[in-house]
């Protein structure tokens, strides 16, 4: 008789896919273990500003054990989250619905009637995440509304739904969401610090809803535990369950363990799931039968991130929540003003003037020309005292598709170690660092506030786009020849393996994807016996 597994299901990662799956599996009676390589954070563990990089950023080799990570590739810079609660700890807590084009994308529309099937799960996700419209009007909202009027799109200016508790500011009340079963909550103070970790307790992070309830009902969560391998316990297709090998990420702790389960759900996001699966595909004792589509069709939301610095001391862009309005410029594109809380000026060290160009000399020339034309304005902007209060980040996104490939290889960006690298598919459109409409909107904003547009140095110098919404790489298909997983998130060729996170998103939603990942996870769990 085969040895019984220690758990019915092991979840690798505690973000939107993992936390949803944990709760729904516990409710089905499963013995559940959640493994998370990052730390567990209490409110006081979050940094007061992002200058406290040891508490904000995740880079253990440099002594940084925070919840925000930047990963640099030849063709994209990825901003993502680490910790118990995954990306919810650092995301901008906005929860939009995608447009109709998302459901009808040729990349996956043949697999299901996605709009119909996902509708009830979006409703559940919005309820669980506490989605509510933002009703205040901030300084940046007023400017964006003016731009909407200027371009004839005023009726397309709107307020987003966000996952924030808007009770009385700074007042603690019993759980308002789950009939008292959830944790106490504190009303939002509109401090703008959502993305550096909510120290108030108003942000609806996963450790306050899905994951909180899962633990309360019996799920086990092991923080600071990184999965290094997943192997079938017998045979080759996982019928006998899986062994999951881990190592501790605690400083000075070299503990390694192996745990077993009948089912394993990969839920570490693109930056966790894809490199782990790629390593297992290469391992003859791992998961060598994984689809050759692994790592392909990696998408972004076609973002452009352009900051505008305003030297006017009377303006304060830091008040509000992370995102407080949205302007749809056409059926494919929209703009959102994004903020950090006062004092969080770390990105000052990583920004250069916005200067689109086809190559480095052209961009450097544009930068120099900008300084020469407005030397006083630039000197004032670059020397502002509180960078976050004087800066707004304009996030421009599109539903139009573009893809990359992630694979194991060597690059100067990873010190020529064999690690995750990016590659282009000549037959596909690649994400771009510069988009004309995004630049025009940023300049309009800058002109209205007497400011200047800036961008990350990786874009300004290298022409490499940035994304906070990396998706795909383990996309759906009818067979292993078409995708890594099927429409029920089951890995082709391996019984009991699933991918339920951003890497399973098989089309570009064109909006912040957290709500969509949550809805997909709800659907996957509803279909699991």
Within 8 A by CB and 6+ apart from 412, the residues are none
Run of H or E residues at 362:
helix 360-373
Within 8 A by CB and 6+ apart from 171, the residues are 186, 187
SS3 191: strand
Q: Find out whether 139 and 310 touch, Cβ atoms under 8 Å.
A: no
Sign of CA dihedral 401, 517, 95, 336: negative
Q: How far is CA 454 from CA 229, 327, 483, in A?
A: 41, 20, 39
Q: Which tokens sit at 25?
A: 């599996």
Q: Which tokens sit at 330?
A: 């056409």
DSSP state of 529: -
Distance CA 403, CA 288 (A): 24
Q: Find out whether 384 and 308 touch, Cβ atoms under 8 Å.
A: no
SS3 23: helix
* Residue closest to 65 by CA, chosen among 79, 43, 47: 47
Give the pairing of strands 77-81 and 466-467: parallel
Distance CA 164, CA 131 (A): 7
Distance CA 199, CA 156 (A): 33
* Candidates 80, 334, 469, 492; catalytic one: 469
* Residue closest to 13 by CA, chosen among 400, 277, 337: 277
Within 8 A by CB and 6+ apart from 504, the residues are 17, 474, 475, 476, 485, 489, 520
Bridge partner residues of 225 (DSSP):
248
Indicate the length of the chain as a whole number.
529
Distance CA 483, CA 479 (A): 6
Q: Is 469 tagged catalytic? A: yes
SS3 516: helix
Q: How far is CA 98 from CA 141, 302, 333, 503, in A?
A: 22, 14, 12, 17
Q: Find out whether 367 and 313 touch, Cβ atoms under 8 Å.
A: no
Distance CA 157, CA 437 (A): 16
Give the pairing of strands 256-266 and 7-12: parallel
Q: How far is CA 446 from CA 83, 283, 304, 311, 425, in A?
A: 36, 52, 16, 11, 36
Distance CA 263, CA 259 (A): 12
Distance CA 282, CA 419 (A): 13
Q: Which residues are annotated as catalytic?
A: 469
């Amino acid at each position: 008789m085969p040895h019984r597994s220690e758990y019915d299901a092991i979840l690798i990662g505690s973000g939107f896919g993992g936390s949803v799956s944990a709760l729904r599996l516990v409710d089905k009676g499963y013995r559940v273990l959640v493994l998370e390589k990052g730390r567990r954070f209490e409110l006081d563990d979050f940094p007061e500003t992002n200058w406290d990089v040891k508490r904000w950023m995740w880079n253990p080799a440099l002594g940084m054990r925070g919840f925000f990570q930047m990963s640099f590739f030849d063709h994209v810079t990825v901003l993502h989250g680490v910790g118990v609660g995954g990306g919810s700890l650092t995301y901008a807590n906005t929860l939009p619905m995608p447009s109709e084009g998302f459901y009808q994308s040729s990349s996956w529309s043949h697999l299901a009637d996605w709009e119909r099937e996902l509708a009830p799960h979006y409703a559940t996700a919005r309820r669980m995440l506490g989605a509510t419209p933002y009703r205040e009007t901030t300084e940046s909202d007023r400017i964006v509304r003016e731009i909407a009027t200027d371009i004839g799109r005023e009726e397309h200016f709107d307020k987003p739904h966000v996952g924030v508790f808007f009770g009385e500011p700074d007042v603690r009340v019993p759980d308002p969401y789950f009939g008292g079963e959830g944790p106490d909550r504190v009303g939002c103070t509109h401090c703008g610090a959502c993305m550096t970790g909510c120290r108030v307790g108003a942000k609806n992070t996963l450790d306050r809803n899905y994951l909180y309830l899962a633990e309360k009902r019996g799920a086990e969560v092991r923080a600071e535990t990184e999965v290094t391998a997943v192997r079938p316990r017998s045979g080759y297709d996982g019928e006998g369950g899986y062994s999951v090998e881990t190592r501790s990420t605690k400083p000075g702790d070299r503990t390694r363990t192996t745990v077993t389960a009948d089912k394993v759900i990969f839920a570490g996001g693109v930056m966790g799931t894809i490199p782990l699966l790629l390593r297992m595909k290469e391992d003859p004792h791992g998961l060598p039968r994984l689809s050759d589509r692994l790592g392909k069709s990696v998408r972004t939301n076609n973002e452009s991130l352009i900051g505008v610095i305003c030297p006017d001391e009377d303006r304060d862009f830091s008040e509000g929540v992370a995102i407080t309005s949205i302007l749809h410029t056409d059926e494919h594109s929209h703009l959102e003003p994004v903020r950090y809380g006062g004092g969080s000026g770390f990105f000052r060290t990583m920004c250069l003037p916005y200067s689109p160009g086809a190559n480095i000399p052209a961009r450097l020339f544009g930068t120099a020309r900008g300084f020469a034309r407005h030397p006083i304005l630039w000197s004032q902007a670059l020397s502002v005292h509180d960078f976050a209060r004087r800066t707004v980040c304009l996030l421009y996104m599109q539903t139009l598709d573009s893809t990359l490939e992630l694979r194991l290889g060597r690059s100067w960006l990873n010190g020529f170690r064999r690690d995750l690298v990016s590659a282009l598919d000549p037959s596909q459109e690649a994400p771009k660092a510069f988009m004309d409409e995004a630049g025009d909107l940023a300049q309009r904003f800058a002109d209205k506030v007497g400011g200047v547009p800036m961008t990350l140095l990786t874009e300004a110098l290298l022409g490499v786009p940035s994304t906070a919404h990396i998706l795909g790489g383990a996309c759906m298909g009818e067979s292993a020849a078409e995708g890594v997983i099927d429409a029920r998130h089951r890995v082709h060729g391996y019984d009991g393996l699933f991918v339920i996170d951003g890497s399973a998103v098989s089309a570009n939603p064109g909006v912040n994807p957290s709500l969509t990942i949550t809805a997909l996870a709800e659907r996957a769990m509803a279909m699991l016996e």
